[in-house]
Structure 1
Amino acid sequence: MITSLSGSWSLILGASSGMGLATAHELARHGVNIVGVHFDTAAGQEKAADAEREIRAGGVQAHFFNMNAAAQRTREELVPRIAELTGGQGVRILLHSLAFGTLGPFLPAAGQPGIAARQMNMTLDVMAHSLVYWTQDLFAAGLLGRGAKVYAMTSSGDRKVTAGYGAVSAAKCALESHVRQLALELAPSGVAVNALLAGVTRTPSLERIPGSDRLAEVAARVNPHQRLTRPEDVAEAVVLLSRTDSSWITGNVIGVDGGESLTA
């Protein structure tokens, strides 16, 4: 059954840029109230504050928190706050869009040291394991009800090898495994969990990848649409998939790439 999203709530982890920010704006246009978590310095904080004001101007509630989404203390503080903000209604949509990890070789190369254990652990914790911890805490607090949707942003690093991308690739593989396990365990509660695999998209996280310009050039050329994926494409997919109470689409890696994977 297709339902309206108006008046519902979303929690976006990584809300100040890229796909998280685009999704916040698109959901707000459909009447969804936004709780956003981001972790930024001054310039990023200003951008997030501007987004918060713009979303509120559209007539919905928006509450952005500049906190480390991977930290236990953040969850301990924000989960009760979310319960308060939503009046116990909980979140209809949880989007995990955290892209903070270490880029670098496993073995020393070109003057770079091999990745350290703390860097590997941090990358996996932020980009993969935090999805599990947020879902656990929201579910335990009764804030993920029947019809809720959980999305995690993955990438082609789940199966392709790129220089310096090893730790992030490992995180994406772990993230997809977590999605499948959460989908299994949340199915009796009517909560759907899926990973979204976007095509190459111009975001701050892409810009940090060595050789990103060449990557983008190739992706735009081979994509059947003859352009890169945009954050707004992902945002529209989130809205489309969320407008049903059904949890029958769950445990999947859903491509949002305009057919890029067909020809890449």
Structure 2
Amino acid sequence: MPHPPHSLHDGWCLVLGVSSGMGRATARAVAAEGGHVIGVHFDRAEGAEEARRLEEELRATGVRAHLFNANAAARRTRERLVPKIAELTEGAGLRIVLHSLAFGSLVPFLPRGGDKTVLTQPQLEMTLDVMAHSLVYWTQDLVAAGLLRRGAKIFAMTSAGTTQVLPSYGAVSAAKAALESHVRQLACELAPHGVAVNALRAGVTVTPSLLRIPGHEEFVDRSAAGNPHGRLTRPEDVAEAVVALSRAPSSWLTGDTIGVDGGELVAAGTTWSTAKETEEQ
């Protein structure tokens, strides 16, 4: 049976941050569509073993999958892997690039209470380099290698932290704001090439990176109560959006920050279940 027009079948997807959260869910969703997956993750011990099992799982669906354990934010990783990606894709290039790198410093800018720990310059610079600037560097190298063809889609994971404040989240907030700025710039520069670039603003999602945020329990409970769907965003919700947005060959939807949160942001500050109960009385 022929595949439908604009199918992802036999296309290639590069996932930066493939071993957990949105990256892992996207790899699975692309494989379910018959797309091949190249992933980069940075794990040791148990995390590396989980990535190996994910690679086997993806290949079991009948697609090609190659996951590399390396620091995706390092220049030497790009220098080593970009030629490898060109070799693996055999001239086809990449259909999807997902930037889902979530590694940064969760330290306040100023002393708080009896804790004198504050964010340092190297920590701030590292957070922005990994979570924001690396998108630019990867895009530059992929373009130089001819791996982004007309119709390709680039997605970068952002968050409501660009406009909201959480304790100890300042460096990550700055990185997400920079990331969205990079998305807009890249979208304009890649538009003549027919390549779309968008940021996906996921709702609060329970991932390893979220669990590292101090005080995340209260934040999670509040977000679940405020979401009109009555639950948190799941990594699979984000993966579904990536697949849906990647099917179209058009690059006209570009330069945007697209909410994938079930209405969480527009309902922020409201305990939705209570509001519904009041309305029904």
Return the TM-score normalized by structure 1.
0.99
Which residue of 163, 172, 185 corresponds with 2:167?
Answer: 163
1:27 aligns with 2:22: no
User: What's the % identity of the aligned pairs?
Assistant: 66
**For 1:112 and 1:166, how far apart are their aligned partners in 2?**
16
Which residue of structure 2 lines up, in the alignment, with residue 79 of structure 1?
Answer: 82
**For 2:75 and 2:217, how far apart are their aligned partners in 1?**
36
Which residue of structure 1 lines up, in the alignment, with residue 258 of structure 2?
Answer: 254
**For 1:2 and 1:229, how far apart are their aligned partners in 2?**
29
Deviation at 1:108, TM superposition (A): 2.1
Deviation at 1:150, TM superposition (A): 0.2
1:263 aligns with 2:239: no
What SS does the aligned partner of 2:177 have? helix
Q: Following superposition, which runs of at least 4 residues in structure 1 exceed 3 angstroms of deviation?
A: none
Q: Which amino acid aligns with 1:31?
A: G
Deviation at 1:112, TM superposition (A): 3.7
Aligned length: 264
1:209 aligns with 2:213: yes
Which residue of 45, 49, 53 corresponds with 1:50?
Answer: 53
Unaligned stretches of 5+ residues in structure 1: none
Q: Which amino acid aligns with 2:222?
A: V
Q: Is the 8 A contact 1:16 1:48 kept in 2?
A: yes
1:10 aligns with 2:13: yes
Cα RMSD after superposing both structures: 0.9
1:103 aligns with 2:106: yes
Unaligned stretches of 5+ residues in structure 2: 269-281
Please list the CA deviations of residues 213-246 of structure 1 after superposition, one character each: whole Å capped at 9, or x if unmatched: 1111111111010000000000000000000110
Return the TM-score normalized by structure 2.
0.93
**For 2:226 and 2:116, how far apart are their aligned partners in 1?**
32
1:226 aligns with 2:224: no
Which residue of structure 1 lines up, in the alignment, with residue 276 of structure 2?
Answer: none
Deviation at 1:2, TM superposition (A): 5.3
Q: Give the number of the structure whose alpha-carbon radius of gyration is greater.
A: 2
**For 2:108 and 2:184, how far apart are their aligned partners in 1?**
28
What SS does the aligned partner of 2:183 have? helix
**For 2:206 and 2:151, how far apart are their aligned partners in 1?**
31
Which residue of structure 1 lines up, in the alignment, with residue 136 of structure 2?
Answer: 132
Which residue of 34, 40, 44 corresponds with 1:41?
Answer: 44
Deviation at 1:114, TM superposition (A): 1.3
